[in-house]
Amino acid sequence: MYELLIVDDEASSRDILASCFPWDEQGFHVCGQKDSGQEALDYLKDHSVHVILTDISMPGMDGIELAKSVSELEGVRPMVVFLSAYDNFKYAQNAIRYGVRYYVLKPTNFSELKEIFGTIRHELDAKYNVSSDDAQDYSTDEIIQKVLSYLSQNYREGSLSSLAESLYLNPSYLSQLIKQKTSKTFSDLLGEARMKQAALFLKDPDTKIYNISNMIGYVNPNNFARAFKAYWGVTPTEYRSHEK
C-alpha cells in the first residue's frame, strides 16, 4: 500500500474523498486528512507519504505553495496531485513549474480518479521496484503484524532487506513505515525479539549462556550480555537465578 495524504479546507470534500472512493483497491491507504498546506507540510516532517492529493484554493498556505515547498524538500519527495473546482491555465502552469503532472477537477469524477491513480500506482511500483504481478495489497497495520511475525521466527539472522523482499516492498519505504507505525527502527524491533527469545532460552538451566548468545544471533557473548542487561535491567545470569 502507498500512503496518501488528502488536503482540503472543506471537511465534507475531504471525507467524501477519503471514505467513498475504494483507495485500497487502487493500492493506496489514506494516512491522514489536513485542512491546509501548512498542516500537510508539518505532517510530512514525521510521516512517510507517497502522494498528496491537495485542493489548490485554501486559506493560508494554498495548494500551489504546498507544491512549491514539497518540490524543495530534500530526499525522496511525495508526488502532488492538484484538486480544484477551477480549470485555470495559470494553475496548470504552476503545476508544471513545481513538478505536478496530475490535475483533478471538482466535482470529482471517480472514474477519472481511478484512471489517474492507476497510472500513479504503476509509476510508484516502478520507482520502488515492485512487481505488479507479485505485490500484495496489505494495509499498513497488516504489514506491521507481518514484520512482528517475521521477527519472532527470524530473530537470529533476520534482515530488513529479506523482510522487504518477502513483502514485495522497497526496504527504504518499509523502514520508514516501521518507524512511523511503531516509533522504533527495524533494528530496535529485532533487538527486542532477540532479548525476549533469550529470556525463554534462559529458563532451561541446561542451556549454556554462551550458546544462547549464538542461538539468537550474537557472535560475541559479551555483546549479548550487555544488550540483555540494557533491555532487562539484569545480566543473563541474574535473570536465570531469579527464574529459579
For the chain, domain boundaries? 2-127, 140-243
Place of cell 516501521: 178
Q: What is the pLDDT of residue 90?
A: 60
Q: Do 140-243 and 2-127 have the same topology in CATH?
A: no
CA distance 100 to 116: 13
Q: What is the pLDDT of residue 154?
A: 94
CA distance 242 to 244: 6
As its CATH architecture, domain 2-127 has 3-Layer(aba) Sandwich (3.40)
Q: What is the pLDDT of residue 8?
A: 93
CA distance 166 to 137: 13
The CATH number, out of the four listed (3.40.50.2000, 1.10.1040.10, 1.10.10.60, 3.40.50.300), of the domain defined by the range 140-243: 1.10.10.60
Q: What is the pLDDT of residue 56?
A: 87
Q: CB neighbours of 241 closer than 8 A, spacing ≥ 6?
A: none
Q: What is the pLDDT of residue 130?
A: 67
Q: What is the percent of the chain where pLDDT is above 70?
A: 91
Q: Are 53 and 24 spatial neighbours (Cβ–Cβ below 8 Å)?
A: no
Give per-10-residue mean pLDDT for the chain (244 aa): 90 88 87 93 89 91 91 86 70 70 79 89 81 60 91 93 81 84 94 96 93 94 95 94 75
